[in-house]
């Protein structure tokens, strides 16, 4: 079995630090009112951004789990 420091620690770092930077970007978009939630396309792409980040984090976790159990 692979140790925690070679499997999950890089994952936590990648999506922890990357997630913080992602949230800073989202915060800047919202702060400068570059996003208008009244527009359907803006809501759609905002959800794509959030969902995409969560999707890649989930897929990455599943691949790590498959590698550990394999």
Q: Render pLDDT for 25-37 as a digit per residue (tens, 0 to 9).
A: 999 999 999 999 9
Name the average pLDDT for the chain.
94
Distant-in-sequence contacts of 54-62, Cβ < 8 A, 24+ apart? 57/15, 57/19, 60/11, 60/14, 60/15, 61/11
Percentage of the chain lying above the pLDDT 90 cut: 84
Q: What whole-number distance in Å separates Cα of residue 23 and Cα of residue 18?
A: 9
Report the pLDDT value the prediction gives residue 70, as an integer from 0 to 100.
67
Q: How many domains does the chain have?
A: 1
For the chain, which residues score pLDDT lower than 70?
A: 70
Residue-number span of the structural domain to which 29 is assigned: 4-69
pTM: 0.83
The rounded distance, in Å, linking the Cα atoms of 2 and 21 is: 29
């Amino acid at each position: 079995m692979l140790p925690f420091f070679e499997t999950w620690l890089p994952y936590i770092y990648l999506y922890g630090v990357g997630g913080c930077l992602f949230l800073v970007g989202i915060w800047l978009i919202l702060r400068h009112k570059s996003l208008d939630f009244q527009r359907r396309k803006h809501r759609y792409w905002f959800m794509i951004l959030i969902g995409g980040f969560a999707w890649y984090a989930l897929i990455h976790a599943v691949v790590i789990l498959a590698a550990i159990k394999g």
